[in-house]
Chains A and B, each alone.
Chain A
């Protein structure tokens, strides 16, 4: 029996720069929708390896890519942007940039070399980011472009990410990370498409290293040899990515791989945990000036908190009062953040701050009022899903507050919006689970405590002349109320009512009025009077569009198929109740039939009921309920069909006869 060799042999690189031949221009096999695409990646190959430097280690990232430009619309892919990180006077550096554009002219392959001026095309984006751009020469329809470059980085904590999936098709995308045994990284992969290759090999490793000099003594040169982990991922024949409605963020759907430095072990038996364990992260957070220490500093709202404590003995009522206090003391500047931008005292003075400024102030003030409050680390929907087995700080981009109440109950609070009711998180936070920032680091489900609910109650009477007259009340509860109030806040009550009036202009709305605009715990209501002009002349039959033009249900799913899940964030419910009274001399000629439809596994239902309670009264109920937060692609067809059937049913008319 022989033991497997410790070091394994790595696969050959999938591409070599400068080797495009005439054969590459010949019709390629159609494995994807590539021919219709403006451009495609023929091969995109990246490697990251860690090498010794002067007193420290560096990450060297190399990328070689080959693209075919099919159409003029694909010319933008001939311009390449390379983001570079800058911090503490250190900057990632681009080197070894080479590029070639290949064209097939009169049956011959011609090459044009890229001449790039890194000085001109470098743009400082912000304090920590510089962007280097270059564009390929002599690009035409049918050109193959090829480029290669390296990025050398001192930021060992952050191995370069790799994105396999793009808005154009990719025939082959491969990434390799070569990690010597003295470093270990956590790996996070995102997306849905299956990898063609996903392997981990042990390979020999060697690098030269110059130790940092001490005093006047120069550093010592040495050669380090050992083993390294070679991680390799390949995705092939990837179709172009398309955005669909009800997605959280592209990042959750596009195949990609990310890294986080977890630990170091230089002598073989001194493993040093950098982060990756909750304890380690918690220790860092607890003492961070911009997190733990910010909360434990003197509370700027302490006096008010004390007063609330004295005034409200009930912890729940008190927590609500503290939330209201913080909501009116500070305005959210739309910057999600885990760390405060300034001491909380200054945020209060300035009445403005990022999510951490606002919600860590909330935690601090809740504590000052004698409540058990804990920061809750969140990744917002636009930031992407979290991996609960990987408590690394870059997974999070937002913080809210958790309060433990008596009888083992708990409530999640957020003070970033004035119209958020007690216990409701904004939609951006409804993203699976959040992590409590305390010693235990428990994960808490971020399930919405409330749904998105629209309820319409309409009373109509038919006049002897054949017109419909009456009134309607729209009630927006839960997230529907939050969204309506947000819309009002961003415009004005008058503009909001005017927009609703315009939406139902066919019904000539009048006396529009807002109900409960300021009491955030009640549904936001809109009341209006309606008139629907009947046909000119004395028609014998009247066709009454009761739900049709009120538009109780809409179908947002125009696409026939779906590759990725539909994520609504919260359950939805739409209900419309219509009561119609007929005058003397009219009778119901025909009523639509009642139906009840449902999705498999209690995923949702649609109910439509018409009844004639008295000879002159007709009642109509339509209700669409979507009970799940997320529907998988396999559930899509049924979900779309339910919406189609519901909209078709609501379009049916009631026929009334004039005697």
Chain B
């Protein structure tokens, strides 16, 4: 093995060969063989393997062997060594996901493990993604990917970040098969970099997808977003029949309400009050909804069932809407490569009577989500609208720096011994409030207090008050936090001086020093606006001896300012502003970005020195 591959590596993938055989429109077989030399304990998870299967995927074989540093065979897996486990996700009512797993880890490094397995699938909606290097600090010596498909089922693929010289080799094979093959070698280990893209977005990879597919007798075309949407539409058609009692109830609910948006809101709130989310993960159930009548009688359903139910309820109120597939809680889909990349569904309600085109988006699985708000779970990304004419790619609502605000107003009262009390009002909007809204819904007040206590940057404090008030009237929700703190020894008093840091809660850390040159771009995907106003009530008998100098930074990365001024009434007023837009930069901009962060970190730590006036 080349010594460059060992550098910064916990493991080296010596050889990984993946073969994907398309046997017919409805059947595929995936074969994987991976040999990995494990150099130390941090790489030892490669000594274990898990092969997943379910109702539509079965494991044909699973083998493994382990070799010592000299290449001598230590042992091979026997049937009894392979455990069959349920991949229970802990919250589903039913889940058919299972796995076969084996452990070949050794006490002495290095050693080499080799795993081979084959999975036959009758769910051809999913084709594999080839991404041989999927972990940081792991090198790849050689990798190959081979797809064999009948000529009438041509492979669709998209290449990304392939090293120069690596290219597809296509050949015709006996039996009417077309072979597609990629190979690469000697990828050195990479290290994670601060504010860089996830490794899955930068290492060589090939996405693949079928041109036509079949799942449990339902065939579909995948030549465009339109056809994928068509298949989804047909699979779920006619499942929106509501019991008469529910239809009557909905009609009565909206009868007196002329405004279109208010009608949608009434239906949505009724849904939230009368249903709940229960996950069910079984076979075709992954794509096909339970009928609306089942939700009506049980009061629960998974994301498809609740969205389908909400669509049926809106229909009963004469409001047309569309299901929209999204990839929730993960990077956005690749819009230029139509394929099944979704894991969730929401409802899109176009307003019919609005003066200009407008849309209401509904998250139907949450009983607490604000009306029309998509949050960080499903906002800022693409969705596939499922219409009778097929699929149509659209954008979900965008939330930028002006939407995601944190406005904080603090009063700190310090006494002559350094003890302080603080009252803090924090108003968060948009994506900034997502986590705190979760907190208020999922935890009781005692646990909310506990959570906040664990995340405050003080070693010595107690919380005298904590309360949240939500305001969901605007298009982005707002949440106000009222926090009362007792801070014994907040100011450090030594003799006649007291030291304090006016920025109590909003300090930003500097970035670690980089070793060598920055490789990856800078991704600043979180856009926000922060404002802090801190009024410090200085104890009687003290005056400021030294005050921090004002700082103003205006850069392409963001804008920062902080300043402290004594007011005529003897108090000190500290004002800090930070605005970060959603931006991306080239690796060469990293030193400037790091300097920006260093300056902020230094300014955020600036101290005030107070001195006793009688001394």
Binding site for B on A (CB under 8 A): 33, 36-38, 71-73, 75-76, 78-79, 112, 120-121, 123-126, 131, 133-135, 137-141, 240, 242, 327-331, 333, 349-352, 418, 489-492, 494-495, 498, 501-502, 505-506, 539, 541, 543, 548, 554-555, 558-560, 590-592, 643-644, 647-648, 651-655
> Using an 8 Å CB-CB cutoff, how does the interface string of B37-50 with A read, 1 for contact, 0 for none?
00011100000000
- 5 A-B Cβ contacts within 8 A? A134-B93, A543-B497, A555-B459, A654-B494, A655-B497
When the two chains form their complex, are residues B494 and A489 in contact, meaning their CB atoms are under 8 A apart? no
Q: State in angstroms the CA–CA spacing of A418 and B106 once bound together.
A: 12
Q: Which chain B residue lies CB-closest to A350?
A: B75
When the two chains form their complex, are residues B492 and A651 in contact, meaning their CB atoms are under 8 A apart? yes
Binding site for A on B (CB under 8 A): 8, 10, 40-42, 74-75, 83, 85-86, 88, 91, 93-95, 103-108, 273-274, 276-278, 282, 297-300, 367-368, 418, 441-447, 450, 453-454, 456, 459-462, 488-489, 492-497, 499, 509-510, 512-513, 545-546, 605, 607, 609
- Among B41, B86, B494, find the residue whose CB has the most chain A CB atoms closer than 10 A: B494
Q: State in angstroms the CA–CA spacing of A329 and B107 once bound together.
A: 7
When the two chains form their complex, are residues B40 and A36 in contact, meaning their CB atoms are under 8 A apart? no
Q: Which residues of A contact B456 (CB under 8 A)?
A: 558
Q: State in angstroms the CA–CA spacing of A79 and B92 once bound together.
A: 9
Q: Which residues of A contact B108 (CB under 8 A)?
A: 328, 331, 351
When the two chains form their complex, are residues A140 and B274 in contact, meaning their CB atoms are under 8 A apart? yes
When the two chains form their complex, are residues B103 and A123 in contact, meaning their CB atoms are under 8 A apart? no
Q: Which chain A residue lies CB-closest to B497?
A: A655
Answer whether A349 and B74 are a contact pair too, CB < 8 Å, given A138-B299, A330-B107. yes
Q: Which residues of A contact B95 (CB under 8 A)?
A: 123
Q: Which chain B residue lies CB-closest to A73?
A: B442
Q: Which residues of A contact B40 (CB under 8 A)?
A: 489, 492
- Name the contact of B107 in the complex, choosing from A38, A71, A328 (C-beta under 8 A): A328
Q: Which residues of B contact A79 (CB under 8 A)?
A: 93, 278
Can you list the 5 inter-chain pairs with the closest CB atoms, starting with the nearest? Answer: A331-B107, A648-B489, A138-B299, A558-B453, A590-B495
Q: State in angstroms the CA–CA spacing of A138 and B83 once bound together.
A: 39
Number of A-B contacts (CB under 8 A): 160
Question: Chain B's nearest CB lies how many Å from the CB of A142?
Answer: 10
Answer whether A133 and B446 are a contact pair too, CB < 8 Å, given A418-B107, A490-B41, A644-B459. no
When the two chains form their complex, are residues B300 and A502 in contact, meaning their CB atoms are under 8 A apart? no
Q: Which residues of A contact B495 (CB under 8 A)?
A: 590, 655
- Name the contact of B94 in the complex, choosing from A76, A123, A137 (C-beta under 8 A): A123
When the two chains form their complex, are residues B88 and A72 in contact, meaning their CB atoms are under 8 A apart? no
When the two chains form their complex, are residues B42 and A131 in contact, meaning their CB atoms are under 8 A apart? no
Q: Which chain B residue lies CB-closest to A114?
A: B298
When the two chains form their complex, are residues B93 and A548 in contact, meaning their CB atoms are under 8 A apart? no
Q: State in angstroms the CA–CA spacing of A246 and B345 once bound together.
A: 42
Q: State in angstroms the CA–CA spacing of A507 and B108 once bound together.
A: 38
Q: Which residues of A contact B282 (CB under 8 A)?
A: 120
When the two chains form their complex, are residues A590 and B496 in contact, meaning their CB atoms are under 8 A apart? yes
Q: Which residues of B contact A38 (CB under 8 A)?
A: 442, 444
Q: Which residues of A contact B545 (CB under 8 A)?
A: 541
Q: A329-B107, A333-B103, A539-B546 are in contact. List 12 more A-B contacts (CB 8 A).
A: A33-B446, A124-B86, A139-B276, A139-B300, A140-B299, A331-B107, A351-B74, A505-B510, A558-B450, A591-B494, A644-B489, A652-B492
Q: State in angstroms the CA–CA spacing of A644 and B486 once bound together.
A: 13
When the two chains form their complex, are residues A490 and B460 in contact, meaning their CB atoms are under 8 A apart? no
Q: State in angstroms the CA–CA spacing of A590 and B274 once bound together.
A: 67
- Among B108, B456, B460, find the residue whose CB has the most chain A CB atoms closer than 10 A: B460
Q: State in angstroms the CA–CA spacing of A490 and B368 once bound together.
A: 41
When the two chains form their complex, are residues A72 and B441 in contact, meaning their CB atoms are under 8 A apart? yes
Question: Chain B's nearest CB lies how many Å from the CB of A588?
Answer: 11
- Among B278, B454, B512, find the residue whose CB has the most chain A CB atoms closer than 10 A: B278
Q: Which chain B residue lies CB-closest to A494?
A: B8
Q: State in angstroms the CA–CA spacing of A126 and B84 once bound together.
A: 7
Q: State in angstroms the CA–CA spacing of A331 and B109 once bound together.
A: 11
When the two chains form their complex, are residues B299 and A653 in contact, meaning their CB atoms are under 8 A apart? no
When the two chains form their complex, are residues A653 and B453 in contact, meaning their CB atoms are under 8 A apart? no
Q: Which residues of B contact A543 (CB under 8 A)?
A: 497, 499, 607, 609
